[in-house]
């Protein structure tokens, strides 16, 4: 596809890479790589490999990433509908893997759609503390919400804001921030040839301006002592070493840290920025050096330290909601903190543990949507099903991936159930594949009424 690449782009890459340019150019004749990242919030890598039906080889820079064969079509397997893995370009797995998030951190993914990196950050939090996943585009933020819900991440706020507005509401709030900034996308030309067709020489400068706005907002939201990982999927120096140079010049309290990356990654080049030798701590990913597309990363720390000052957000308990939820879960304990359950109109949410002071922010979803209160009963949501484990619910139907009823369930069809297949012979059932939840159904006289939402169904 080299003939499809812009001539000005190729001239600049030849100047940047010199002796490696021929190998770089040759990499575009190779097919793109396909990646699958195991969602460790739902299943360990070891357990997944025991049930894995695909031809996988490890991605060397992340513990839970794998290459798969395109003809295996993992998006069509019911394990995908259960959120056991996320399909992600292998190089794009690196930023979330290299930002050291631990349970208890308050984490922001500033430019998060469609959610590949945010879902990995959420899995690292192990359902503790808070993930804020933001995107400026409303349509992209809706795709982000869908993927957060699919992966079963309960402790999230999904916001649709410009970075500056978010920064006003959340000053020095986060322990860890990922800024996977909008960019000219040069690293994705092989994966998405259409991006190459829209590229021109002015695009890197246009995006560099946006990137500086994003990182400035992010730095104001980062606690002293907090970490920020800046990443792009472009090769353009002005967007990479250039943006990091801007940060170091404008924000003297920010310092670059060494990243323990993969041996095929390349250090940043100080000559491509403001000649600051610290820029060699950045990492570049080139497609002729690894099996993946182009990326750039820089890990930075805000100097100083700050104590953990956030209080656990608790709500005034709604007695009716508590009663109906208790009835719904029957002899099982409600698997969420009841003092963080909130009812808005008839909708029931479980809020993450964070101060409730984000006024004026556009939320698509703040907390886990549990379901609705309807005429003295509780109607569960699809996000609730995907946030549960099979044994969290009193009655379930677990089918094998080979059972043809799995496909029919995911299409929204009614199922016939044999006596004894469900834990209980009537009422709400958690429908599972190999004991991994897919959604809900309601069993009446041997017939399972399908409650899989229309917007989630396969066609």
Tens of pLDDT, residue by residue over 116-164, are 999 999 999 999 999 999 999 999 999 999 999 999 999 999 999 999 9
In a domain, 308, yes or no: no
User: Mean pLDDT in the chain?
Assistant: 95
Tens of pLDDT, residue by residue over 15-63, are 999 999 999 999 999 999 999 999 999 999 999 999 999 999 999 999 9
Residue 456 per-residue DSSP state: G
What pLDDT score does 338 carry?
Answer: 86
Q: Any known ligand binding at 94?
A: no
**pLDDT higher than 70, residue 314:** no
**pLDDT higher than 90, residue 308:** no
Pair (326, 401) in one structural domain: no
Q: Give the closest residue to 126 by CA, choosing from 100, 145, 152, 99.
A: 152
Instruction: Residue 235: give the domain boundaries.
Output: 2-302
Q: Any known ligand binding at 143?
A: no
Q: Which of 233, 282, 350, 432 is catalytic?
A: 233
233 is catalytic: yes
Pair (120, 249) in one structural domain: yes
Tens of pLDDT, residue by residue over 392-424, are 999 999 999 999 999 999 999 999 999 999 999
Pair (344, 276) in one structural domain: no
End position of a domain, from candidates 235, 268, 302: 302
Pair (239, 342) in one structural domain: no
Query: How far is 333 from 122, CA to CA, in rounded Å?
Result: 24
Query: How far is 284 from 345, CA to CA, in rounded Å?
Result: 49
Give me the residues paired with residue 222 across strands.
Answer: 174
More confident residue, 312 or 201: 201
Domain CATH for 42 = 3.40.50.150
Pair (203, 262) in one structural domain: yes
**pLDDT higher than 80, residue 355:** no
Q: Any known ligand binding at 109?
A: no
Mean pLDDT of 180-198: 95
Tens of pLDDT, residue by residue over 237-261, are 999 999 999 999 999 999 999 999 8
Pair (279, 404) in one structural domain: no
Domain CATH for 406 = 2.30.130.60
Q: Give the pLDDT band (50/70/90) at residue 310.
A: low
The sign of the CA dihedral 112, 365, 121, 215 is positive
In a domain, 309, yes or no: no
Pair (74, 197) in one structural domain: yes
In a domain, 144, yes or no: yes
Pair (380, 406) in one structural domain: no
Q: Any known ligand binding at 115?
A: yes
Q: Give the pLDDT band (50/70/90) at residue 309.
A: low
- What is the number of domains present in the chain? 3
pTM of the entire predicted model: 0.96
Cα-based angle 85, 88, 94 (whole degrees, multiple of 5): 105
Pair (247, 123) in one structural domain: yes
What pLDDT score does 375 carry?
Answer: 87
Q: Any known ligand binding at 214?
A: no
């Amino acid at each position: 596809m080299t003939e499809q690449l812009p001539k000005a782009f190729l001239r600049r890459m030849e100047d940047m890479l010199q002796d490696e340019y021929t190998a770089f150019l040759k990499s575009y004749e190779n097919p793109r790589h396909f990646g699958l990242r195991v969602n460790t919030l739902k299943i360990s890598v070891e357990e997944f490999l025991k049930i894995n039906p695909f031809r996988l080889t490890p991605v060397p820079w992340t513990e839970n990433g794998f290459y798969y064969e395109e003809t295996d079509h993992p998006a069509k397997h019911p394990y995908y509908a259960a959120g056991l893995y996320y399909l992600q370009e292998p190089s794009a797995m690196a930023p979330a893997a290299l930002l050291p998030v631990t349970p208890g951190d308050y984490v922001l993914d500033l430019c998060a759609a469609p959610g590949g990196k945010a879902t990995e950050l959420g899995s690292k939090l192990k359902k503790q503390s808070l993930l804020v996943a933001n995107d400026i585009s409303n349509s992209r933020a809706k795709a982000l919400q869908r993927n957060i819900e699919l992966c079963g991440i309960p402790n999230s706020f999904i916001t649709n804001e410009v970075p500056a507005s978010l920064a006003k509401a959340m000053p020095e709030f986060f322990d860890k921030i990922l800024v996977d900034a909008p960019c000219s996308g040069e690293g994705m030309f092989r994966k998405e040839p259409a991006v190459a067709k829209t590229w021109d020489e002015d695009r890197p400068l246009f995006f560099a301006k946006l990137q500086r706005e994003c990182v400035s907002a992010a730095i104001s939201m980062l606690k002293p002592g907090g970490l920020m990982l800046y990443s792009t999927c472009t090769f353009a120096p002005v967007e990479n070493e250039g943006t990091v140079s801007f940060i170091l010049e404008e924000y003297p309290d920010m310092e670059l840290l060494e990243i323990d990356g993969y041996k095929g990654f390349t250090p940043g080049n100080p000559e491509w920025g403001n000649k600051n030798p610290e820029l060699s701590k950045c990492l570049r990913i080139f497609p002729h050096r690894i099996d993946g597309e182009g990326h750039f990363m820089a890990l930075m720390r805000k100097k100083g330290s700050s104590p953990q000052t956030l209080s656990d957000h608790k709500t005034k308990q709604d007695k009716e909601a508590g009663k109906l939820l208790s009835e719904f879960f029957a002899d099982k304990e409600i698997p969420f903190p009841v003092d963080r359950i909130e009812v808005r109109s008839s909708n029931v949410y479980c809020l993450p543990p964070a101060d409730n002071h984000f006024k004026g922010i556009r939320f698509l979803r703040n907390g886990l949507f549990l379901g609705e209160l309807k005429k003295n009963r509780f109607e569960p949501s699809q996000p609730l099903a995907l946030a549960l484990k099979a044994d969290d619910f009193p009655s379930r139907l677990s089918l094998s991936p080979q059972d043809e009823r799995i496909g029919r369930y995911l299409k929204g069809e009614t199922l016939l159930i044999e006596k004894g297949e469900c834990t209980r012979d009537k009422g709400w059932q958690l429908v599972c594949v190999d004991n991994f939840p897919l959604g809900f159904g309601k069993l009446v006289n041997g017939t399972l009424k399908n409650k899989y939402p229309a917007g989630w169904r396969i066609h």
